[in-house]
Amino acid sequence: MYRGSMPRTKGDHEARRRDVSAAVWQVMATRGFAGLTLRAVAAELGATTGLLTHYFPTKQALVEYALDLLEQRTVSRPRRHTGEGLAAFRDALLDILPLTPEATDSNRIWVSSWDTALSDPALSTDHARKYAKGRDRLIERVAAAQELGELSPGNPARIAAGAQAFVLGLVVQALFDPAVFPPARQVELLDDYLAALTASH
Amino acid sequence: MYRGSMPRTKGDHEARRRDVSAAVWQVMATRGFAGLTLRAVAAELGATTGLLTHYFPTKQALVEYALDLLEQRTVSRPRRHTGEGLAAFRDALLDILPLTPEATDSNRIWVSSWDTALSDPALSTDHARKYAKGRDRLIERVAAAQELGELSPGNPARIAAGAQAFVLGLVVQALFDPAVFPPARQVELLDDYLAALTASH
């Protein structure tokens, strides 16, 4: 289907981009950034490596595309909205955890991206910026929970940084040991964390 | 110095192994597992790639060696001993954090190993086993702190899993954003975490 032919219409082009994105995502979810090659994406897509070079002239272009795709899918993922204040803070933390197959793939790709990102100052800065934005969103929810008297009046930035650390580490544990950290266990540990935060005020 | 020659005595051999280990470590600390190649290790060592194939006939052998080296250096690293009970629990958590340049290199290599390990079921199982052993050591310290009445009588395995999640995530934040998470900030956040744990009992 893809061999050698170029897209002829805007619709064709967009359909093919979606297929390429799905193939890049699938390769990353299975093999990580270390296994992300033009050859692997071509095999996933049932296309030639030659066709892929049309989209990604270099390995660097493929890595950048993959990182953009990861950010897009993270930003546009479905979010929980079960309430205000502490409930909204908990929702934001649950949204990060690998509680579904889709969230597991996405987290596996995030964790895999860390090796690539730490080796490249520009990518590393970009990751730092993304995590800082994530903390900013948590800070708003901490402040809202404090206003409702559901969280201690401590520094919201410190509470948000601590909570972000907690869920990032829980992601890593759950990816390596899904038998020990199934979704129910992750939620239980997060609730222990939140219970300690709320009990200490 | 290394070009083409084979070690002649046991002393030569051991000195060379130490040099090779130092070169593998340095490459991983700078470029991660993604940048760990025979060529990069040879360049770091000032040796030929040919000599390196004597030690590492395949890329897989080099990766396994690097993972063993990471475990050895982690196991043999200096440890804090400032007290018993809660102080010993805090020491064990501080020992994990990137508070020194050496601990930063080691953590950067651990985080980098996750991409490689998640793509390989045997390596992934091995990482899960290492983190489970780490939790077992934390459980002992939690139980000791509980006996001294310094921590709540909750399930020690849950408290240990939560604390391990917290420090793993703090490692990731500190590696990406050392300006926002310098050592003093990491210790402050850990102490907030411990304060919430102790206040909630």
Mean pLDDT, chain B, rounded, equals: 92
The total number of structural domains in chain B stands at 2
**% of chain A residues with pLDDT over 70:** 95
| Cβ–Cβ < 8 Å for B33, B41 | no
Domain boundary among A72, A98, A119: A72
Identity of the highest mean pLDDT range in A159-168, B28-37, B51-60, B145-154: A159-168
Task: Evaluate if residue A21 carries a pLDDT over 70.
Answer: yes
Mean pLDDT of A146-165: 95
- B127 lies in a domain? yes
Is B170 close to A167, i.e. CB distance below 8 A? no
Same domain, yes or no: B156 and B174 = yes
Same domain, yes or no: A39 and A93 = no
| Cβ–Cβ < 8 Å for B2, B78 | no
**Nearest residue, CB atoms, A128 vs list B31, B176, B195:** B176
Q: B28, B63, B115: best mutation site toward chain A, by most A Cβ within 10 Å? A: B115
Task: Evaluate if residue A5 carries a pLDDT over 70.
Answer: no
> What are the chain A neighbours of B60 within 8 Å (beta carbons)?
none
Same domain, yes or no: B62 and B116 = no
Rounded Cα distance between B47 and B37, Å, is 13
Is B32 close to A177, i.e. CB distance below 8 A? no
Helix (H) or strand (E) holding B199: helix B183-199
Is B169 close to A168, i.e. CB distance below 8 A? yes
Same domain, yes or no: A101 and A173 = yes
Rounded Cα distance between A25 and A27, Å, is 6
Q: Which two three-digit tokens encode residue A166? A: 């907690």
**pLDDT at residue A153 in the model:** 86
- B1 lies in a domain? no
Q: Which residue has the tokens 């809202």?
A: A144
Same domain, yes or no: B115 and B143 = yes
Same domain, yes or no: A150 and A87 = yes
**% of chain B residues with pLDDT over 90:** 82
Mean pLDDT of A91-97: 98
**pLDDT at residue A135 in the model:** 97
Residues 6+ apart with CB under 8 A from A133: none
Domain boundary among A55, A72, A89: A72
CATH for B148: 1.10.357.10
**Nearest residue, CB atoms, B169 vs list A112, A124, A166:** A166
Task: Evaluate if residue A183 carries a pLDDT over 90.
Answer: yes
- B128 lies in a domain? yes
Task: Evaluate if residue A196 carries a pLDDT over 70.
Answer: yes
Going by the DSSP 8-state scheme, the letter that residue A4 receives in this structure is T
Identity of the highest mean pLDDT range in A52-56, B96-100, B148-152: B96-100
Q: Which residue has the tokens 């080099």?
A: B62
Residue B57 structural domain:
10-72
- Tell me the HSE value of B54 on the side-chain side, using a 13 A CA sphere: 17
Q: pLDDT higher for B200 or B73?
A: B73
**pLDDT tens-digit series, residues A45-77:** 999 999 899 999 998 899 999 999 999 999 999
> What are the chain B neighbours of A195 within 8 Å (beta carbons)?
200
Rounded Cα distance between A123 and B188, Å, is 27
Task: Evaluate if residue B3 carries a pLDDT over 50.
Answer: no
Handedness of CA A129, A130, A133, A134 (dihedral sign): negative
| Cβ–Cβ < 8 Å for B116, A35 | no
Same domain, yes or no: B21 and B104 = no
* pLDDT confidence band for B12 (50 / 70 / 90): confident
- A1 lies in a domain? no
Output the pTM of the full model.
0.91
Same domain, yes or no: A53 and A93 = no
Mean pLDDT, chain A, rounded, equals: 92
Query: Chain B: residue nearest A199 by CA?
Result: B200
B174-B179-B182-B184 Cα dihedral, nearest 10 degrees: -130
**pLDDT at residue B1 in the model:** 44
Number of A–B residue contacts, CB under 8 Å:
158
Q: Rounded to a whole number, what is the distance in angstroms from the first to the last CA of chain B?
A: 62
Q: A31, A173, A180: best mutation site toward chain B, by most B Cβ within 10 Å? A: A173
Same domain, yes or no: A50 and A92 = no
Q: pLDDT higher for A75 or B10?
A: A75
Task: Evaluate if residue A3 carries a pLDDT over 50.
Answer: no
CATH for B44: 1.10.10.60
